[in-house]
Copies of this chain bind each other. A is one copy, B any other.
């Protein structure tokens, strides 16, 4: 009983695959306009929502409040500076075991997880201490 995808969903899925990185709904909308014309912004949001429920797309919210989407892929986590917003990727991800456990113990079908670290990068920490 796989959910058959709509035209827009296919387009979005394909573009996300080609990009291979996170992108906001707004940026995705612009991107799609560039390629083949004709995808409304509302449709982008609706499609992303559907794809998320389908377990093929994941989302996370950036510090500025906008959501970014990508194909579901594990172990793409970040360490973000609360001050300047600088974000560095993290390689390790120690939550797989826990995820497996939760999936059974909590009776949840888990699609993806987010793991984010927040703090101050060394530069901002200095400025912060200096009272800038």
**Copies per assembly:** 2
> Which listed segment binds B: A5-13, A15-23, A36-44, A89-97?
A89-97
Assuming the contacts A65-B65, A115-B113, A116-B113, asked whether A106 and B79 have C-beta atoms less than 8 A apart, the reply is yes
**A111: which B residues are within 8 A, CB to CB?**
82, 118-120
Q: Size of chain A's interface in residues, with CB distance under 8 A? A: 46
Q: Which of B3, B53, B94, B120 contacts A108 (CB 8 A)?
A: B120
| A107 and B121 contact, CB distance less than 8 A | yes
**A122: which B residues are within 8 A, CB to CB?**
107-109
Digitize A97-132: 1 where CB-to-B-CB distance is under 8 Å, 0 elsewhere: 111011100111111111111111110010011110
**Is A32 interfacial (CB-CB < 8 Å)?**
no
**Is A58 interfacial (CB-CB < 8 Å)?**
yes
The interface of chain A, by Cβ under 8 A from chain B, is 1, 3, 52-53, 55, 58, 61, 65, 67, 79, 81-83, 88, 90, 92, 94-95, 97-99, 101-103, 106-122, 125, 128-131
